[in-house]
Amino acid sequence: MDTFRIEGPVRLSGNIRVNGSKNASLPIMAATILGAGKSVLKSVPHLSDISVCGELLKGLGCEVGRNSDGDLFIDSTTIDNPVGEYDIVCRMRASICVLGPLLARCGRAEVSMPGGCAIGDRPVDIHLRGLRELGAKIDLKNGYIVAEAPDGLKGKEIFLGGSFGSTVLGTANILMAAVLAKGQTVIESAACEPEITSLAKCLNKMGAKITGIDSPRLVIDGVKELKPVEFEVMADRIEAGTFMIAAAITAGELKLENCRVGDMMAVIDKLRNIGVTVEADGDNCVVARKGAIKAADITTQPYPGFPTDLQAQFMTLLSLAEGNSVIIEKIFPDRFMHVAELSRMAANLRKEGAIVVVAGVKKLIAAPVMASDLRASAALVLAALAAEGTTMVSRVYHIDRGYEKIEKRLNPVGAKISRIKV
Ligand code: EPZ
C-alpha cells in the first residue's frame, strides 16, 4: 500500500489540464452492453475504478482494452455470462449500473448487492423499485440481485425520488433499462447531474430516443436495438473542483484547462463568496486567492446544488477561514471520515450528526494521517499542501481510485509530494 510524503506549506502556481470524468465514464462503459459490437470511448481516465469496471465487463463476456491513442474500447458482441461477481462489485459499488443494461440486453442479470462503503450505506432499493416497475422480476439470493425479464421490459411512468432528492446511478440504471423497453417510459424526479446528461446523449448517439435531457423528467421511447458508439467522455467537475480548492488553500493561482465551468456554478459561487477569484474563459478558468479566506455555510444537495463529492475538500479549505462555518451533509449523512483526520492536523471541527461546525484556525500542522475514502483522501492531500511540516498520508490507493497519479499533476505546479511504496 503506497503512502504519500507531502511537504508544506507550498503555493501552487501554473496550469493543470482536467481529466475525463470517472463518474461519467462508469455508466457509459455499462451502456456499451446495450449496443452489441465495438464501442470506443475517448478521454476515459486511467483510474483503478475504471480498471475494475473493465474487469467486470470482461467477466460478462466483453473484450476491453485501450487502443494506441489511449482510447478505451469495449467489444460487447458476446455477453455470455450476465453476472456481476461479488469480488468485483465489492471493490466498486458503481458496478450496480450494469444491472439495467444487462436486463435490457439479455433478459436476465445477477449482480452482487454492492454493500456499504466508507461514506455510509449505499442502498439500491430505488434501482430495484424502478426495474420492477418496468416489469422485471427481482429476487435477492445469497447476496446477489437476481433480475429476470424473459419477455422483455415494458415502458411505464416511474417516480425515482427519495427523501434525499434523486439517485444518480439509479437514474442511470433505469434509463439504460428503458431504452430497449416496449413503449414509452417517463422517469419523474430523474437526477440532473451532468454525468446523467452525458449518458443520455451517449445513448441517443447509440440510437435511443430520449427527450427531456437535462431535466428531472426524462421521456424514453423504447427502440428495438442500439448500435455501438464512439463517444468523448466529459471533463471531471469533481477533479476540477478539487484543483480549484488546491489553488485556494495554498493562496496560489492555477489555470485549469478543459474545465466545464457551467457544471460548477454552486462551487464557484461559494469560492467567490469566501474571497477566491475564479475567472472563466470558455473551457478554461483561472483560480487564485490572495487575501484571507472568509467563513461560509454549505449544504450538500443534488445537482445543481453544492456537490457532496466536494464537501470534504471544501471543509479543509474552510478550516483555515476567518470565523466559523457550518457544513450540512444532506446526501450521505455519514460522509465525514475526514473529520477525525483533519482534526489530527489541528483543524477545529465539531460534528453533530450530519452537521459539522468548522471553527477557522490560523494554520494546519502536518501529521501522519490515513486515507479512508476517495474524496476524504483528496481532502487530506489538500490539507497537507497547506500544513506546516511533512504529512504522511497512508493508503493512497483510495485516491488512485478517482485521481490519476495526483502527485504527477500537482508537483509540476509547486507541490512536493513523493509516493513511497510500503
Ligand atoms: C453517485 O453515486 C456518484 N458515484 C457519487 O460519487 C456521488 O457522491 C453520488 O452520486 C451523489 O452525487 C458515481 O457516479 C459512480 P446516489 P450514487 O444514488 O449514484 C440514496 C465519488 O466520490 N439512495 O445519487 O450511488 C443514497 O443512500 C462518488 O465519486 C437510496 O436511498 O449516489 C444517498 O443518500 C461517491 N436508495 C442518495 O440516495 C437508492 O436506491 C444519493 O445517492 C439509491 C440511492
Taking only the tens place, the pLDDT of each residue in 319-370 is 999 999 999 999 999 999 999 999 999 999 999 999 999 999 999 999 999 9
Of all atoms in ligand 1, which is nearest to the CA of residue 374?
A: 22
> Quick one: what percent of the chain has pLDDT higher than 70?
100
Kindly state the cell numbers that stand for 277. 477569484
Measured CA angle at 72 (ends 66, 74), to 5 deg: 100
Mean pLDDT within 175-192: 98
Answer whether 127 contacts ligand 1 (Cβ < 6 A). yes
pLDDT over 90 (residue 122)? no
Taking only the tens place, the pLDDT of each residue in 306-332 is 999 999 999 999 999 999 999 999 999
How far away, in angstroms, is 169 Cα from ligand 1 center? 6
Kindly state the cell numbers that stand for 377. 483522501
Kindly state the cell numbers that stand for 122. 449505499
Contact 246, 238 (CB under 8 A): no
pLDDT over 80 (residue 164)? no
| φ/ψ (deg, to 5) at 189 | 65, 40
CATH fold of the domain at 3-19+236-420: UDP-n-acetylglucosamine1-carboxyvinyl-transferase; Chain (3.65.10)
* Residue ranges matching CATH 3.65.10.10 in the chain: 3-19+236-420, 22-224
Give the DSSP letter of residue 303. T
Atom 14 (ligand 1) nearest CA: 23
How far away, in angstroms, is 361 Cα from ligand 1 center? 32
pLDDT over 80 (residue 151)? yes
How far away, in angstroms, is 218 Cα from ligand 1 center? 19
C-alpha span between 5 and 91 (Å, rounded):
26
Give the DSSP letter of residue 307. -
Atom 38 (ligand 1) nearest CA: 167
C-alpha span between 258 and 17 (Å, rounded):
6
Residue corresponding to grid cell 455470462: 81
Taking only the tens place, the pLDDT of each residue in 219-268 is 999 999 999 999 999 999 999 999 999 999 999 999 999 999 999 999 99
Taking only the tens place, the pLDDT of each residue in 22-44 is 999 999 999 999 999 999 999 99
Looking at the whole model, is its pTM more than 0.85? yes
Answer whether 185 contacts ligand 1 (Cβ < 6 A). no
Residue corresponding to grid cell 496560489: 252
| φ/ψ (deg, to 5) at 134 | -85, 0
Kindly state the cell numbers that stand for 289. 486567492
pLDDT over 90 (residue 1)? no
C-alpha span between 72 and 123 (Å, rounded):
30
Pairing of strands 108-112, 284-288: unpaired
Taking only the tens place, the pLDDT of each residue in 39-63 is 999 999 999 999 999 999 999 999 9
Domain 22-224, architecture per CATH: Alpha-beta prism (3.65)
How far away, in angstroms, is 338 Cα from ligand 1 center? 18
Of all atoms in ligand 1, which is nearest to the CA of residue 94?
A: 15
pLDDT over 80 (residue 194)? yes
Residue 120 banded pLDDT, cuts 50, 70, 90 = confident
10 Å Cβ neighbour count for 343?
16
> Quick one: what percent of the chain has pLDDT higher than 90?
94
Taking only the tens place, the pLDDT of each residue in 275-303 is 999 999 999 999 999 999 999 999 999 99
Which whole-number Å values give the CA distances from 260 to 19, 158, 190, 229, 252, in the listed order?
Answer: 11, 31, 22, 23, 21
Burial 114-129 (b: 16+ CB within 10 A, else e): beebbbbeeebebbbb
Please report the pLDDT score of residue 139 as a whole number: 97
User: ω before 123 within 30° of 0 (cis)?
Assistant: no
Is 117 among the catalytic positions? yes
User: ω before 304 within 30° of 0 (cis)?
Assistant: yes
